[in-house]
Amino acid sequence: MNPIHLILIGDELLSGARRDQHLQTLASDLAARGAKIAGCEVIRDEEREVEETLRRRLASGAILILTGGLGPTVDDLTREGIAAATGVPLRDEPALWDALVKRFERAGRRLSPSNRSQALVPTRGTYFPNHHGTAPGLVFEPSAYPDCRVVALPGPPRELNPMWRDQALPYLISTYSWPQPPLEILMRFAQMGESRIDEKMRPLLANHPEISLSSLIRLARVDVAIRLRADFPNAAELLREVARETRKGFEEYIYECVESFGPGDRRPRDLEEVIADLLRARGERLAVAESCTGGLIAKWVTDYSGSSDIFLGGIVSYHNDLKRDLLGVPETVLASEGAVSEATVHAMVEGVLKRAGADWGVAVSGVAGPTGGTPEKPVGMVWIAVGNRDRIETRCHEFPGDREMVREWSGVVALRMLWRRLVDSE
């Protein structure tokens, strides 16, 4: 496989105005196809710089993917830079121009002369129409480097992401006759640090150098994918064996495990979706009572469309008065045990079950910091309760890290406890 090199064009990244998302998007999708990004550069939006960077990289025989710099403004000179470096001139594409005229007419806007550049395409190569914006994706085929392609994609993620997945990636797969995608098993962990997962998996994979591992880490959530090329003898069985061994002892932390062995495999779900599916199947509904997480868990649950089937809502009882008045936590409990206590979160779940009329309740109360800690209740100490009318479980954790980390871990731990209860009571 030709090495793939990514070139991000944009002064906005180098000035700190925006944070790049494309490297991670493309890298993950390529990994799922058994391909890799060999390197990545961020450069300024200048024709000379685009041209020089491309010349250097073309000589190395790489597939070059460029993002950004295809807008209509005079600052965006990417396409001229690519034309110069590849020796592939641009031409007007009437079909693109017509589409542009129609698009602007519909929107009641006037085309400016600079929009003309957005109907230019390479004379050798192809282009991808943009269904979410005006700049098409461009593919240049430099005659001096017949193995290379330069693929230029628009910068805004909502234009790039669909164009990349639906047009550019399929183009690369067919042009370079990439082999079948590797078989993959994805395991999603909650409340388990990456280092513990790594410790467990390294020895398992030591005997299987043919299996590749990649991970995606979002604080208290870690996704691990193991992959093996489809034509390896017993590929599916080998992957299943490694997944089985990985899961031993970790069952309570892996909320999703999905095989991608061919078309028709189901999409991996997030923890909130797994919980929603379990609740939906039982016809039961959830409500939350949050103190230190301040609405984070409710926000997560409602990040997913369709959550209204299973989520009634929540009470953010940040102040103790609301724990008492809206959730019915007894004043005596608050006075004797304090807001961060087993008795309080227990009463918070009881209260939210009753007042929201929910089947399941989750409650969190802790010291998120950086202020508010005491020797008995230090920053990071969090009580969590989960339960239904039959039984409420409580647990206390001391989370390290800053306010954001404490809140994130609290939310993930609470949802993991709920998921386990739903699984165990099936």
Interacting residues with its own copies between 367 and 396 (CB under 8 A): 368-372
* Span 213-242, contacts to its own copies by CB under 8 A: 214-217
Give dist(CA 204, CA 212) in Å, integer. 12
- The end-to-end CA distance of the chain, in Å, is 47
DSSP string of 58-118? Answer: HTTT-EEEEES--SSSTT--HHHHHHHHHT--EEE-HHHHHHHHHHHHHHT-PPPGGGGGG
Residue with smaller CB distance to its own copies, 2 or 215: 215
Binding mask 332-361 for its own copies (x = CB under 8 A): -----------------------xxx----
Sort residue 274 into left (φ over 0), alpha (ψ -120 to 50) or beta: alpha
x-marked contacts with its own copies along 246-285 as a string, rule CB under 8 A: ---------------------------------------x
Candidates 115-123, 124-132, 256-264, 316-324; binding stretch for its own copies (CB under 8 A): 316-324
Interacting positions 294-313 with its own copies (CB under 8 A): 294-299, 301-303, 305-308, 311-313
In the stretch 68-87, what mask flags binding to its own copies with x, by CB under 8 A? --------------------
For its own copies, which is the closer residue by CB, 54 or 120?
54
| Residue 325 beta carbon to its own copies: minimum distance, rounded to whole angstroms | 7
Pick the piece of the chain touching its own copies (CB under 8 A) from 61-69, 183-191, 260-268, 319-327: 319-327
Measure Cα distances from 194 to 46, 204, 219, 221 in Å: 40, 16, 9, 9
DSSP 8-state assignment for residue 119: G
Rounded to whole angstroms, the Cα distance separating 329 from 344 reads 6
Within positions 36 to 55, which residues make up the interface with its own copies, using CB under 8 A? 36-44
Cβ closer to its own copies: 17 or 206?
17
Among 148, 315, 329, 353, binds its own copies (CB under 8 A): 315
The two tokens of residue 64 are 């070059």
Exactly one of 68, 71, 136, 314 binds its own copies (CB under 8 A); that residue is 314
How many residues touch its own copies under the rule CB under 8 A: the total is 75
Nearest CA among 145, 375, 389 for reference residue 285 = 389
Which has the closest alpha carbon to 292: 191, 413, 412, 382? 382
